[in-house]
Amino acid sequence: MKAVLVLNAGSSSLKFALFPLEPTLATKPALSGQIEGIGATPELSAKDANGERFHEPVATLGEQSEQHRDALNHLFHWLAAHNPDLEIAAAGHRVVHGGDLYSAPVKLSEALLRELDTFVPLAPLHQPHNLRAVRAVATLMPAVPQVACFDTAFHRTQPAVAQAFALPRAITAEGVKRYGFHGLSYDYVARQLPDIIGERAHGSVVIAHLGIHETSAVCAQTQILERDASASLRTALHDADVSASERHGANLGRCKIILGDRIVDAVGPDCDVDRIADNRER
């Protein structure tokens, strides 16, 4: 079976799905699941298209970064054992941050990976793990082409005012702004809406991304410009991310990571950037 492998690598989990490619790319996976507990005691759980479930421990040693590689290695061997004729034609990855440059999926290369490494300060909890999975696939299956799909890409049609913090323009020009997150989730919902609510999907719509770990986000969208295979969309407002770890001052905290003490000069010494970034009370 020729198939596309889709991966979503997090800090402690690796989600995967296998989409058959014969005769054309299927819209439903032949197999999907995840390896959870990376960094502790990893376990694989999966389900095939017939509803059969699989569960087994993943043998791994070493640091968390090595466990990601071991988890992928275990996954590839497991997939091959359950699909002896499996041929992985390509691998697709969820990558959280593509900066200003990438507003569409892109084929990955080592040079591009080095560029995506520079966005780690903008998404330190996610970007390193996303890229680690890409490099692991390149090591284990060097001939397989890989593609990155960016969460930030969906939001690149926002107006500049929606992306800007209340900071001097010189700092905004250095890349400190709202890039938007959960874009792949929003994109999927936006593509499904016309089939569900008809013409109303072409008006003003608020999409909610309700995640786990007390994380939620919303995005306002207006005007689906065209409905075709690529579904060109325009987002109107930035997504408002509210989470236990990021509420109030996380964006300002990231500004401090990127700009250092210059952020204090920008907002003034009375702002107490450290307190806001750490979400502490006065």
Active centre residues (catalytic): 151
Q: Which residues have a Cβ under 8 Å from the Cβ of 192 and sit 6 or more positions away?
A: none
Whether the CA torsion 178, 110, 142, 13 is positive or negative: it is negative
Which candidate, 127, 165, 175, 173, places its Cα nearest to that of 267? 165
Cα–Cα distances in angstroms (integers) from residue 263 to residues 209, 231, 271, 277, in the given order: 30, 39, 10, 12
| Strand order across the 43-48 sheet | 53-57, 43-48, 31-36, 13-20, 2-9, 87-95, 146-150, 106-107
Q: Which residues have a Cβ under 8 Å from the Cβ of 138 and sit 6 or more positions away?
A: 110, 146
